[in-house]
Amino acid sequence: MSAPVILELNELRKTSSSEIGTLGTELAKLNQLAVPLPKSLIIPRLTLEKLSDDLQIAINVKNICQNINWSDPANRYHAKQAIANQVLNREFPNWFSQKLYNLYHSQLKRGLVRILPGSKESSLDVTRFEHIQGDSNLFESLKQYWLHWLEHEIDLASSVEELHIIPTAIIMQEQSLALVSGKCYSYHPQSGNKSQIFISAIKGAPASELFEDHADQYVVDVRTDNVVFREVKTQTRYFQRSRDQLTSRPLDHQAQLSPNLTDEQCVQLAKIVSHLKHQQLSHFKLDWELTHNGFIITHYDEDDISKEPQTIQQKTITKIYLAVGNPHQINSLPHAADGIGVFDSQYAYLDFGIHPQQICHSRLRETLIRHLVSSVKQFHELMPHRPIVYQTMSLNSRVMSKMRYGAQHEQAEPNPSLGMRGGMKYLVEPALFELDLEVIKALLNQTNIMLGLQLTMIRSPQELSLLINQIYEAGLSHFPTFELWWQLDTPDNILNLAAYPTHHLTGLAINIEELQTLVYGVDQSNHYLFDRYTFDDQSLTKLMGLAAKFKANSDELSFTNQHLQLRLQLSRFNRQLVEEAVDFGYDGITISPPAFSIAKTTVIEAERKKFKNHWESY
């Protein structure tokens, strides 16, 4: 090849953005401005085209997709399976593998690496890989990355011509041992003061669940280089990167109370931000880490949150809701969402790191209640006139046994995902459910939120009846803004839906990932196994259709204006399932925030098609 096979940061400056992608171009600019960055290797598009030719990826993918009936989910499924065999079972040619091997050892020191798409589109977050270590893992992850890219393209495309088979540049970045990590704004996000730099910091590697209650906050005045505000929080544990995961570790008492940054370190970080602000002439936010070699900037975003695309503002019949849980993410949420479809209370329990039953019988109980109430209120302030659905905790015994005091309360289960959790856990330990009910009652008394309570992992009509009785006894049904939701997690929930007491409910939410796990027999928490299977959406579509038919029959039998609502719940965007939800007449879709834009666009297109066909039939 005439061009370099793999590029280092200092080689990016003269390379076109079409070769290295928008993120590669951004890294080149930041590197030229002497911003400290993680060591990075970039596989440019030209190299990927050469790899595609050598491995015959493009020609094989086109041949496979040539005969797809794009409206048939079974066809898409079989195409993905065939493509997976093509991509995963090929070996990289020696000219590429030897170069990558040498650079991985010499530049990245055979350490932990993350793989990023060259494009900064939020919908491509599904292609990211973290905490990769070792030669074989790196090569395998690159193939998995390419496969995820192709599956994402097939979900979006409606013809072979729309497929982008060659990814934008692939970026590999070193993941160092982070002593402290955090976020930084080039202005004060609360007051809007442009002469101040706002810093939040936690000990250890970045972990979203620690930022809200455990992050120190500092404000540096750039005119005087002085720390003008300092709030130090207690942090009882930290996360450390290890192969394939983040590992939680306890902090000793002295470390729990010590500040995460000194004043000198705050000013040093502020100077990096100030220098970049003078060069960029715009405001931004950064993710940063403090390593043994000093500060590095791991992520950069221009602060244009308020500027949402016009398409996103368009109203749709099928509402788009967000799945959230971490209040620290509020500043990055799309304001055009129709509400919070899932506020996941599990974040708070994981944040405390103490077994829930231990909390319920200690003085921490009131602290946890206040924390949950405060978190929901923050999302309400972001969307003051839109509904929020609070989802009950459904942590399994494996997760809870690792918490403090976990061994006292949990028994080992051979398959925790199918074990004691959800509705049964709440019935056996009613104090856990009473805590959630107190949170809901406090919110209804203190706010005007249209607030839902969503029950999870209910395995029988009797379980649902018993929990509904407790809700009535708690007096929640007397509040006019209270809604009761039930998340359908098992095939029986849908196949036997008529046996459940749904007349007490405001709505049903189809948890597609839980159904996928049980329909196909692969645990979604086992990423190594789950990511190696491409699933046929047809079985899931049938279950979605049965739920839609039940809703339609319930509406016909209803003697009030309160019709049963039906929503699809997705953690990963799936174009086919979103289109099916629109076609079935689902009231809404709940999606993770990064996928909001693509979900909204898909709904708009699906509704146009649906109603165009409807009018043309007359």
For residue 123, pLDDT beyond 60? no
Residues 537-592 have pLDDT tens digits of: 788 999 999 999 999 988 766 544 568 999 999 977 888 899 999 999 999 999 98
CA distance 263 to 226: 8
For residue 305, pLDDT beyond 60? no
Q: Classify residue 223 by its DSSP letter.
A: T
Looking at the fold, whether 119 and 192 belong to one and the same domain comes out as no
- Element housing 170 (H / E): strand 170-174
CA distance 198 to 185: 5
Decide which of 279 and 327 is more confident: 279
Looking at the fold, whether 274 and 320 belong to one and the same domain comes out as no
Tokens of 399: 């997760």
Looking at the fold, whether 279 and 373 belong to one and the same domain comes out as no
**Is residue 414 in a domain?**
yes
Last residue of a domain, one of 156, 174, 192: 174
Q: Is 488 helix (H, G, I), strand (E, B) or coil?
A: strand
Assign 296 a pLDDT band (cuts: 50, 70, 90).
very high
CA distance 471 to 165: 52
Tokens of 442: 């406090």
Q: How many helices (H) and strands (E) does the chain have?
A: 24, 21
For residue 445, pLDDT beyond 50? yes
For residue 526, pLDDT beyond 70? no
**Is residue 59 in a domain?**
yes
User: Which residues, listed in sequence order, are joined to residue 290 by a DSSP beta bridge?
Assistant: 180, 295
Looking at the fold, whether 25 and 102 belong to one and the same domain comes out as yes
Helix axes 73-88, 57-66, angle to 10 degrees: 160
Minimal CA–CA distance to 266: which of 237, 228, 235, 211? Answer: 228
Last residue of a domain, one of 174, 209, 229: 174
Looking at the fold, whether 252 and 380 belong to one and the same domain comes out as no
Amino acid in the structure at residue 593: P
Q: Under 8 Å CB-to-CB from 418, ≥6 apart: which residues?
A: none
Assign 532 a pLDDT band (cuts: 50, 70, 90).
low
Q: What are the Cα distances from residue 105, in Å, to 41, 70, 102, 367?
A: 12, 43, 5, 48
Looking at the fold, whether 378 and 289 belong to one and the same domain comes out as no
**Is residue 2 in a domain?**
no
State which residues form the domain around 407: 316-616
Q: Is 92 helix (H, G, I), strand (E, B) or coil?
A: coil
Tokens of 601: 């666009």
Specify the pLDDT at position 190.
66
Looking at the fold, whether 468 and 592 belong to one and the same domain comes out as yes
Helix axes 537-557, 575-584, angle to 10 degrees: 20
Minimal CA–CA distance to 141: which of 116, 110, 108? Answer: 116
Last residue of a domain, one of 122, 157, 174: 174
**Buried b or exposed e, range 529-566, using 16+ CB within 10 angstroms:** ebeeebbbbebbbebbeebbebbeebeeeeeeeeebbb
Assign 352 a pLDDT band (cuts: 50, 70, 90).
confident
**Buried b or exposed e, range 90-101, using 16+ CB within 10 angstroms:** bebeeebeebbb
Portion of the chain with pLDDT greater than 90, in percent:
48
**Is residue 192 in a domain?**
yes
**Is residue 124 in a domain?**
yes
DSSP structure string for 308-323: --HHHHS--SSEEEEE
Looking at the fold, whether 201 and 332 belong to one and the same domain comes out as no
Q: Is 152 helix (H, G, I), strand (E, B) or coil?
A: helix
Assign 308 a pLDDT band (cuts: 50, 70, 90).
very low
CATH number of the domain that residue 142 is part of: 3.30.1490.20
For residue 363, pLDDT beyond 50? yes
**Is residue 1 in a domain?**
no
Specify the pLDDT at position 589.
97
Q: Under 8 Å CB-to-CB from 561, ≥6 apart: which residues?
A: none
CATH number of the domain that residue 584 is part of: 3.20.20.60
Q: Is 162 helix (H, G, I), strand (E, B) or coil?
A: helix
- The residue-averaged pLDDT of 38-47 equals 94
Looking at the fold, whether 138 and 226 belong to one and the same domain comes out as no
Handedness of CA 289, 294, 300, 305 (dihedral sign): positive
**Is residue 400 in a domain?**
yes
Average pLDDT, the chain: 86
Give strand ranges (E) for 468-586: 482-488, 507-511, 565-569
Looking at the fold, whether 291 and 334 belong to one and the same domain comes out as no
- Element housing 515 (H / E): helix 512-520
CA distance 297 to 142: 24
Q: What are the Cα distances from residue 182, in Å, to 208, 348, 434?
A: 10, 19, 35
Residue 343 zone, left/alpha/beta (φ > 0; ψ -120 to 50; rest): beta
Looking at the fold, whether 265 and 329 belong to one and the same domain comes out as no
Put the strands of the sheet holding 216-221 in their side by side order. Answer: 226-231, 216-221, 196-203, 180-185, 284-291, 294-302
CATH number of the domain that residue 248 is part of: 3.30.470.20
Residues 91-112 have pLDDT tens digits of: 999 999 999 999 999 999 999 9
Q: What are the Cα distances from residue 114, in Å, to 131, 137, 173, 239, 247?
A: 6, 11, 5, 17, 16
Specify the pLDDT at position 331.
67
Looking at the fold, whether 398 and 506 belong to one and the same domain comes out as yes
Kindly report whether the global pTM for this prediction surpasses the value 0.75.
no
**Is residue 311 in a domain?**
no
Tally the domains of the chain.
3
Please state which of the ranges 249-263, 464-478, 499-513, 532-546 shows the lowest mean pLDDT.
532-546
Specify the pLDDT at position 351.
77
User: What ranges in 314-460 are assigned the alpha helix state H?
Assistant: 346-352, 356-360, 364-382, 397-401, 406-409, 423-428, 430-446
For residue 279, pLDDT beyond 50? yes
Q: Under 8 Å CB-to-CB from 254, ≥6 apart: which residues?
A: none
Decide which of 422 and 613 is more confident: 422
Minimal CA–CA distance to 450: which of 485, 501, 424, 406? Answer: 485
Specify the pLDDT at position 560.
47
